Amino acid sequence: MQKISKLGVLTSGGDAPGMNPCIRAVVRTAIYNGISVVGIRQGYKGLIENDMFEMGTRSVSNILNLGGTILKTARCMEFHTVEGREKAYKNLKDHDIDALVVIGGDGTFTGALKFSQQFPDVRVMGIPGTIDNDLYGSTYTLGFDTATNTVIDAIDKIRDTADSHDRLFFIEVMGRDSGAIALRAGIACGAEGILLPEKATAIDELIELLKKGEFNKKSSSIVIVAEGDKSGNIYDLAKKVKQQISNYDIKVTVLGHLQRGGAPSSFDRILGSRLGYAAVNALMSGHTQEMVGLEANVIKTTPIEEALTGHKFKLEDDLLQMVDVLSI
């Protein structure tokens, strides 16, 4: 097996808290093992535009506690093309880079797989970095825990004002096609309703539920709506409910990008460190076209193809049933 002498690392797609601890772990594990490291700025864009720099152990000092990514991230259409990936390959070869660690979500992994199939001599390892928690092969992705805590913190504050004014709040949270943040935050904040993309919502049922809450003398209600929920625009939804429940003052809050920011939680710092360390070790052992993940507290690798096609978010019916019971 060919020994790796130089490794490139990039972050791509949406940023996620925990990427920095992960970069730090990749850089230090590689250097510890005698492998040079090149940081690639702005994901695949930097790879194509040759925006790279040598990294040392000190270039990742004091970043464990920082949100975002020191390598920056971007979305890059050119990487979708064979020619774009050829340019990227040429730049990697010019820098004598023989392995690549990509930290990102499903789009990033699709790009990594295509690149690796086109140029199999560059070993590629993926690390799941996305707040959406939508990749198969890792129970948790980097950033999910921090983002969920951020959402909980925001909803706690909203609950204070909702309670003071007898208000009903519809709160939209991120997650693309995944309801993972919505479900966890809904449980932690005692939401009266949780609307998820994985489950069709009957508006009548929701209205019934909220009326019951009113009858039971609830002074406020919170309904969490995952951004990928199929019942339509959150403002239209609030209007429809308003027509049937007039007592409540109904408000809508879209939490938006604040969910991506902030210092990574202890969980994401440790997860990032473990996955970064594991990714370099896996590459050194000859693995390629795989993703490192954590399942049942054990680090494992999964072929990228499987990480992309495996069905991640099995709707946790037991959790939803629990929400119905606990929110009476």
Site for ligand ATP in 260-289 (CB under 6 A): none
In degrees rounded to 5, what are phi and psi of residue 62?
A: 55, 40
For 228, phi and psi rounded to 5 degrees? -90, 5
Residue type, 3: K
Q: What is the smallest separation between the CB atom of 33 and ligand ATP, expressed in angstroms?
A: 27
| Interaction mask 102-131, ligand ATP, x per CB under 6 A | --xxxxx-xx--x---------------x-
By CB under 6 A, the residues from 20 to 49 that bind ligand ATP are 44
Residue in 98, 132, 134, 268 annotated catalytic? 132
Residue 132 is a catalytic residue: yes
- Compute the residue count for the chain: 328
CB of 16 to ligand ATP, least distance (A): 6
Report if residue 3 touches ligand ATP, rule: CB under 6 A.
no
Q: Could you tell me if 248 and 211 are in contact, meaning their C-beta atoms sit under 8 angstroms apart?
A: no
Between CA 147 and CA 188 the distance in angstroms is 13
Closer Cβ to ligand ATP, 117 or 219, answer by number: 117
- Distance between CA 41 and CA 9 in Å, rounded? 9
CB of 50 to ligand ATP, least distance (A): 16
Among 4, 35, 76, 142, binds ligand ATP (CB under 6 A): 76
41 has binding-site annotation: no
Taken in order 23, 24, 30, 31, the sign of the CA dihedral is positive
Binding to ligand ATP in span 186-245, by CB under 6 A: none
Residue 288: CB atoms within 10 A of its CB come to 17
- Residue 100 assigned as binding residue: no
**Amino acid code (one letter) for 278:** A
When the beta carbons of 7 and 76 are compared against ligand ATP, the nearer one is: 76
Q: How many CB atoms lie within 10 A of CB 306?
A: 12
The residue from 31, 59, 70, 75 that contacts ligand ATP (CB under 6 A) is 75
- The tokens for 59 are 């270039």
Site for ligand ATP in 129-168 (CB under 6 A): 130, 132
Beta bridge partners of 167: 249
Number of residues located near ligand ATP, criterion CB under 6 A: 18
Give 201-210 contacts, CB < 8 A, sequence gap 24+.
Answer: 201/229, 201/230, 201/231, 203/231, 203/237, 203/240, 203/241, 206/241, 207/241, 207/244, 207/245, 210/168, 210/241, 210/245, 210/248
Please choose, out of 8-16, 17-25, 237-245, 290-298, the segment that lies near ligand ATP by the rule CB under 6 A.
Answer: 8-16
Structure tokens at 257: 């990008």
Q: In terms of CB distance, is 106 or 229 closer to ligand ATP?
A: 106
Q: Which is nearer to ligand ATP, 36 or 50 (CB)?
A: 50
Any contact of residue 80 with ligand ATP (CB under 6 A)?
Answer: yes
d(CA 314, CA 296): 16
Judged by the rule CB under 6 A, the positions of this chain that interact with ligand ATP are 12-14, 44, 75-76, 79-80, 104-108, 110-111, 114, 130, 132
Residues of the binding site for substrate: 130-132, 167, 174-176, 227, 251, 257-260
Active site residues: 132
